[in-house]
């Protein structure tokens, strides 16, 4: 599953809330027209921006787009997530959906209804739930894959050791294991051992990459473009990125972008893809996804990786 031909994934977290339907449709159309394939959503997107206080808006918007675009389902692959959707409006994390077998099955069924599809191509466990035996969660995901509700399963924001234990349990149960990892990762890195301000985020580590490459797991990264901080002065980096390595890396980034006639964002995405990582890119305008897709043509080389590594 670990690939040498990674892809740009369209993140749809804000669709239906902060990104209005008409604009979201245009972004989806542009993404598919540009050769994009994977859409990433979740059943909890975006409860924090929705007046209702619960998720589902992103999945409903994708479902409406699919209905309005006959044949579009054949052109895209859909990844969604269970875990985190508030079961009581405006009550998170107190009422956050967990990863019990019942929660996983109910969450997946409700996602299919909102999306208007009979299966998703990848179903993620959005975050750990250590109140539930891992055997139960693994079995529930395995059952959904066996039924064809999901073609693959993956773990987002999970520790590497939990993923490997889950894969071992899946083998013992004779069910499909998690084959994909989704974690936060970008060229710039926060200070080590400092807490992230964003609840639920987990950084990609060398151990995660080692596991993925050893076991052939796909790796997706989120917050890859740091919410616009690489290119927008009005989007300052979080305080945890205030350390000597940041300006050094940004200086190399500017040099490389100039050499390759690319934007900062495109070089960051190319840097991720060169390492076999599929970056998730959120977009609120068509030109943003067009810029991201063009990163596939940026010819970054191993020597560039070395320059960035040295700058850190």
Burial of 249 (0-12, 13-18, 19+ CB in 10 A): buried
User: Average pLDDT, stretch 7-32?
Assistant: 98
Does 82 map to a domain?
A: yes
Dmax (CA) for the chain in angstroms is 53
Does 120 map to a domain?
A: yes
Does 3 map to a domain?
A: no
Does 246 map to a domain?
A: no
pLDDT digits (tens, 9 = 90+) for 289-310: 999 999 999 999 999 999 999 9
User: Average pLDDT, stretch 262-270?
Assistant: 98
Predicted confidence at residue 4, as pLDDT, reads: 58
For residues 73 and 117, give the distance between their C-alpha atoms in angstroms, rounded to a whole number: 8
Does 218 map to a domain?
A: yes
- Percent of the chain past pLDDT 90, that is, above it, reads 95
pLDDT digits (tens, 9 = 90+) for 173-223: 999 999 999 999 999 999 988 888 888 899 999 999 999 999 999 999 999
User: Average pLDDT, stretch 240-246?
Assistant: 95
Q: Tell me if 211 sits within 8 A of 217, measured CB to CB.
A: yes
Nearest to 127 by CA among 155, 152, 107: 155
For residues 169 and 153, give the distance between their C-alpha atoms in angstroms, rounded to a whole number: 14
Phi, psi dihedral angles at 83 (to 5 degrees): 105, 130
Does 40 map to a domain?
A: yes
- 3-state SS track over the chain: CCCCCCCCEEECCCECCCECHHHHHHHHHHHHHCCCCEEECCCCCCCCCCCCCCCCHHHHHHHHHHHHCCCHHHHCEEEEEECCCECCCCCCCCCECCCCHHHHHHHHHHHHHHHCCCCECEEEECCCCCCCCHHHHHHHHHHHHHHCCECCEEEECCCHHHHHHHHHHHHHHCCCCCCEEEEECCCCCCCCCCCCCCCCCCECCHHHHHHHHHHCCEEEEECCCHHHCCCCCCCCCCHHHCCCHHHHHHHHHHHHHHHHCCCHHHHHHHHHHHCCCEEEEECCCHHHHHHHHHHHHCCCCHHHHHHHHHHC
Domain with 180 in it? 9-239+268-299
Nearest to 305 by CA among 278, 275, 279, 260: 275
Does 83 map to a domain?
A: yes
Does 41 map to a domain?
A: yes
What pTM did the predictor assign? 0.96
Number of domains in the chain: 1
pLDDT digits (tens, 9 = 90+) for 70-110: 999 999 999 999 999 999 999 999 999 999 999 999 999 99
What CATH number is associated with residue 163? 3.20.20.100
Q: Tell me if 2 sits within 8 A of 218, measured CB to CB.
A: yes
Phi, psi dihedral angles at 261 (to 5 degrees): 50, 50
- Percent of the chain past pLDDT 70, that is, above it, reads 99
Q: Which residues contact 110 (CB under 8 A, 6 or more apart)?
A: 43, 56
Length of the chain in residues, anyone? Answer: 312
């Amino acid at each position: 599953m670990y690939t040498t031909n990674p892809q740009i994934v369209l993140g749809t977290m804000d669709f239906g809330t902060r990104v209005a339907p008409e604009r979201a449709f245009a972004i989806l159309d542009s993404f598919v027209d540009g050769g994009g394939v994977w859409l990433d959503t979740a059943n909890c997107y975006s409860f924090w921006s929705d007046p209702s206080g619960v998720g589902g808006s992103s999945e409903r918007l994708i479902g409406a787009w699919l209905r309005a675009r006959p044949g579009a389902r054949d052109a895209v692959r859909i990844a969604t997530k269970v875990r985190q959707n508030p079961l009581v409006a405006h009550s998170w994390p107190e009422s956050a959906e967990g990863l019990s077998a019942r929660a996983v099955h109910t969450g997946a069924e409700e996602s299919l209804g909102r999306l208007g599809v009979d299966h998703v191509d990848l179903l993620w466990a959005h975050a750990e739930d250590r109140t539930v035996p891992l055997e139960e969660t693994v079995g529930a995901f395995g059952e959904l894959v066996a039924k064809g509700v999901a073609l693959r399963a993956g773990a987002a924001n999970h520790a590497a050791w939990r993923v490997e234990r889950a894969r071992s349990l899946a083998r013992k149960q004779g069910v499909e294991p998690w084959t994909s990892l989704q974690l936060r990762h970008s060229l710039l890195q926060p200070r080590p051992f400092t807490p992230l301000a964003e609840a639920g985020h987990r950084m990609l580590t060398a151990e995660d990459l080692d596991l993925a490459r050893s076991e052939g797991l796909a790796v997706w990264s989120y917050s890859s473009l740091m919410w616009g901080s690489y290119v927008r002065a009005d989007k300052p980096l979080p305080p945890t990125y205030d350390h000597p390595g940041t300006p050094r890396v940004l200086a190399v980034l500017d040099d490389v972008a100039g050499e390759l006639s690319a934007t900062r964002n495109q070089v960051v995405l190319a840097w991720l893809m060169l390492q076999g990582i599929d970056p998730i890119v959120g977009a609120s305008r068509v030109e943003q996804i067009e810029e991201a897709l063009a990163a596939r043509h940026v010819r970054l080389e191993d020597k560039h990786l070395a320059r960035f590594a040295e700058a850190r």
